[in-house]
Structure 1
Amino acid sequence: MKISLTPSRIFQPQTLLLLGLFSILLIMPDIAFADVFIPESQYAGYYDYQGIFTVVGNVKNQNDFALIPTITITVIDTDDTKITKQFDHVPIPAMTDIPFKTKFPEIHGLTPELLTAELSYTKTEKDPIPIQIIYDKTLITHDDGHVTGKIENVGNYTVYNPKIYAIVHGHETYMLDVAHNIERIEKIEPGQILDFAIYPDPSVSEPVRFYSCFAPVDNTVVPISTQKNDGKFDFRYDSPGTFYYGAKFDEKGNTLTISGTTSYPFPTYANFEFPPISGNEKFSVTVNGDPIDFIQSMDQMGYWHVAFDVAPQSQGILEISGFDKGLPPDMPLVPMWIKQSGDWWSTGQIVDSEFLEGIKFLVDTQIIEI
C-alpha cells in the first residue's frame, strides 16, 4: 500500500472480486503485524517550516514484552528518486505507544509519495517510565495550537532529561504532527509535579483540535555514523527541535561539518557526544563560519560532550574542530566508576540503592542489556 500526498487517483475495478481484494490489501498493514504496527491514520508526511520533508508516525507495541523497533521508511520524490531511511526507535515498554519523527532533507519535489513503513524489532528489557500526564483542567490546548499541562513522577526514583511526546490532531482526528516539549526538563523527582508545554511545527496551518498518545521518553539521543580516516566514526546528539544531517570529516579527520535546521520559534540547545581518541582533544565550534560559545566536558563514561545554544528558526553549517587524527580506541563496557562502586558496595561502604542506581543508568542508556 502507498500513502500518497497527492489526491487519490480514481480506479475503475473490473469486478467486485477485485474491489474486495483491494479492500483487503488496504487493511493488511494494521493486521499483518498486529502486535507491533503503525496505524495508517497515525502516519503522515509534510514539509516543515524550514522546507525539510518530515515523516511522523506512532508505533504501537501490543506485546507483553518490551522491544526496540527498527523502522524503514521510503519516500519517492517527484522525479521518481527513491530515498530509504532505516533507524532504530527508542525502546518501547509492553502495551505502550511511542510516536516518532524523522526527516528527509534529500526530498525536494512538490508531491513526494510516502510509502508504507516497514517494521521489525528486537526484544529488550524496559519498564514503563514512571511519569504520568495529569488529565484534568490544567491540560489545555490553546488557540495557537500548543498544549500545556502537568506531569507527575509516580515512581520511586528520579528520571533525568525526560521528554514528553504527543500526536497533534486536526479535523476529525487527522494527524498533523508529532511534537514534544522544547524546554528541557533536567529531572523530575519521585512525587514531583512539573509543568510542560508542547508546540507543533510552525508549518502546521490547520487548526489543532487535540493531542493524543502522550508518551514520556528518557532516551532520545540521535546516533550518527560517518567516515573518518578510512574508518567509521560513531557519535550522538540530543537537541529538542533541531535536526542535524550530512555529517562529514575533512581529509585529515580533524574537523566535523554537519548541517542543522530548527523550525521552532524558541531558543533551544544541542549536546553532541563524541568518543575520545586521545582524551586530550580541545574543540572549537563555528556556525556558518562564526565562532560560538560552547561548553566542553567529559561524562562519567569518558565521552566528550560539546554543548551550545541554538537560535530560534535557524539553519546553518556547524563545524566542530579539534578532533585527533584516527579513530577512537575501544571504550570499556563497564566504566571505572561502576567498578569502584561495586567494590564499595561489596564492603558495605554504600547501600544497595546507590549501587543499583548506577546499574540502572547503564541499562537505561543501553550500554548493557539484562
Structure 2
Amino acid sequence: MKTTRDLKISSIHSKISYKTLLFGIILSIFLVPQIAFADVFIPTNEYTGYYDYQGIFTVVGNVKNQNDFALIPTITISVIDDATKITKELVHVPIPAMTDIPFKIKFPDIRGENPELLDAELSYTKTEKDRIPIQIIYDKTLITHDDGHVTGKIENVGNHTVYNPKVYAIVHGYEKFILDVAHNIEPIEKIEPGQILDFTIYPDPSVSEPVRFYSCFAPVDTTVIPVTVKKNDGDFDFRYDSGAWYSAAKFDESGTTMTIKGYNSYPLDTYANFEFAPISGNEKFSITIDDEPIEFIQSIDEMGFWHVAFTVGPQSQGILKISGFDEGLPPELPTIPAWIKQNADWWATEQISDSEFLEGIDFLLKKQIVSVPTREIVSESQWRIPAWVQTPASWWYEEKISDEQFLNIIENLVERKIIII
C-alpha cells in the first residue's frame, strides 16, 4: 500500500479544463444511474466502500437533494460480509433545498477480504433548513497538494455568525471516480460575517490511488452524530461531534461508566466533543483512553446539556471510557432553557433591555426551537420588539400559557415582522 508520501497528485486547476469538468457534470446528470428517488438520490459513481487506515470498512457517498424544500435523509446501508448481511442506518444532517452533502459511515464488525456493498436505501422527512452563508473561495488559494490533502479558504457571506462549521468534500482519483469523503479535522469555533478563514482537508491515509481533485465542497453547521445506548434498563441518547469516529458504545451494569471505541485515521490531531443530558446536574466526569487518564474540559451549554471535550491523537485508536454518570436515565428537559424564561420575567418587569431579551429569542431561532420559514436577518442594532409583547412574556413566566403557546406567539410575530431580529 502506498503512503501519503508516495502519492503523486496534481491540482485540479492544472489537470482539468473547464470543458472536461462540464462534460463530467453532463455525464453524471444524464448517464449515471441513481439510487433512491429522482428528487433525493445518491449517484452510484459517488458511492463506494473501502478499508480505512485502521482496517475499518468504511462507506462513503453523496446525497443530492433536488427538491425545493429542506429534508433529513435516512440512509440504510447493507454490506454482505462472508455471506452475512450487515445493515446500518444513518440519519444524515439536514440538507437544504437544491444542495448535496456527503456522508461517511463505518462498519467495525466487517472482516472479510471482499465485502459486497449493496445499493443504499433512502427515505426522508421534510424539515426547515436554509443554506448556511459560507462559500468556498474558488481561486488560486484552493490547492490540492502533492501528498493528497487540500487547503483553501471559506468566507461568511451572510450577516450572522455561524458556529462550529465543518467543510465536507468528495475526494476523486484517476481510476476511481470517488476515493473518499473527507472534512476539515481542525475545529472551526465560529466564523463572523465577512470573515475569511483557512481550512485543510486530508483523505484517509489508506487511500493508495493518487488523488486527482476534490469536489462537492459542502459547508455544514450540523455535524453531531446521535447515538442511543442501553442504560439501566432504558435508552440513553447522546451526541458527539468529532474528526474521529466512535462506535460500540456500552454502559456497565451500574450505568455510571460508558465505554466506546474510537478511531482517528488522520495524520493530525483532531477533536471530540460529547454531549450528554444531565441526570442530577451534578455529574463530575473522568475520562481514560485504554485506561490511561487524559486531559479534557467539562462544561454545560445554554440548553443545560453536559459537554466533555478533548484532543484525539493522530492515527490512533483505543477504548474511550467516560465515568461519572449518575445512575438512572435523564429526566425530560424543557424545550426552552430556563434562562430564557427568567429573562422573560425580567424583561416584562423592565429589569433588562429589549436587546437582552431578544438575545434569548435569537438563540431559539438559531437552535431551530422557533421555526420561521421566511426570516430576514438584520444586525443587532436593528432588533425591535413592541412593548406590548411583555404581557404574553409575563403570562409565560407565570405559567398562564404553555411553552408551546409562547413559541407559537413568537413564531407568528417574527414571521409577520412585528418582532425583528
Pairwise same-fold verdict (TM > 0.5) = yes
What is the letter of the counterpart of residue 338 of structure 2? M
Query: For the structure 1 residues 173 and 154, does the alpha-carbon distance in structure 2 shift closer, same or farther, using more than 3 Å as the test?
Result: farther
Match status 1:112 vs 2:123: no
Higher helix share: 2
How much does 1:358 deviate?
Answer: 0.9
State percent identity of aligned pairs: 73
What is the letter of the counterpart of residue 40 of structure 2? V
**211, 222, 231: which is aligned to 2:225?**
222
Q: Which residue of 2 aligns with 1:311?
A: 313
Q: Deviations over 1:150-203 (max 9, x none)?
A: 110000000011000000001166100000011111110000111111110000
Q: Write the distance in 2 (CA, Å) between the matches of 1:345 and 1:45.
A: 55
Q: Which residue of 1 aligns with 2:189?
A: 186
For the residue of structure 2 that corresponds to 1:363, the secondary structure is coil
Q: Write the distance in 1 (CA, Å) between the matches of 2:343 and 2:41.
A: 41
Q: Write the distance in 1 (CA, Å) between the matches of 2:38 and 2:326.
A: 48
Q: Write the distance in 2 (CA, Å) between the matches of 1:159 and 1:148.
A: 20
8 Å contact from structure 2 (residues 169, 216) kept in 1 = yes
Match status 1:354 vs 2:356: no
Q: How does 1:14-33 map to 2 (within 5 A)?
A: 30=34, 33=37
Q: Write the distance in 1 (CA, Å) between the matches of 2:368 and 2:198.
A: 27
Q: Deviations over 1:232-269 (max 9, x none)?
A: 111111111x1111111111111101111110111112
RMSD, matched Cα: 2.1
Ranges in structure 2 where 5+ consecutive residues have no aligned partner: 1-30, 372-406, 412-421
How much does 1:293 deviate?
Answer: 1.3
Query: For the structure 1 residues 213 and 197, does the alpha-carbon distance in structure 2 shift closer, same or farther, using more than 3 Å as the test?
Result: same
**166, 188, 198: which is aligned to 1:163?**
166
What is the letter of the counterpart of residue 73 of structure 1? I
Q: Deviations over 1:99-155 (max 9, x none)?
A: 000100010100000000000000000000000001111111111111111110000
Q: Write the distance in 2 (CA, Å) between the matches of 1:98 and 1:356.
A: 29
For the residue of structure 2 that corresponds to 1:41, the secondary structure is helix
How much does 1:355 deviate?
Answer: 4.2
Q: Write the distance in 1 (CA, Å) between the matches of 2:341 and 2:125.
A: 29
For the residue of structure 1 that corresponds to 2:363, the secondary structure is helix
What is the letter of the counterpart of residue 48 of structure 2? A
Q: Which residue of 1 aligns with 2:338?
A: 336
**254, 259, 263: which is aligned to 2:256?**
254
Higher strand share: 1
Match status 1:205 vs 2:222: no
Q: Write the distance in 2 (CA, Å) between the matches of 1:32 and 1:196.
A: 33
**274, 291, 294: which is aligned to 1:292?**
294
Q: Write the distance in 2 (CA, Å) between the matches of 1:338 and 1:71.
A: 36
Q: Which residue of 2 aligns with 1:277?
A: 279
Q: Write the distance in 2 (CA, Å) between the matches of 1:131 and 1:50.
A: 32
Q: Write the distance in 1 (CA, Å) between the matches of 2:35 and 2:49.
A: 22
**In the comparison of the two structures, how many residue pairs are matched?**
341
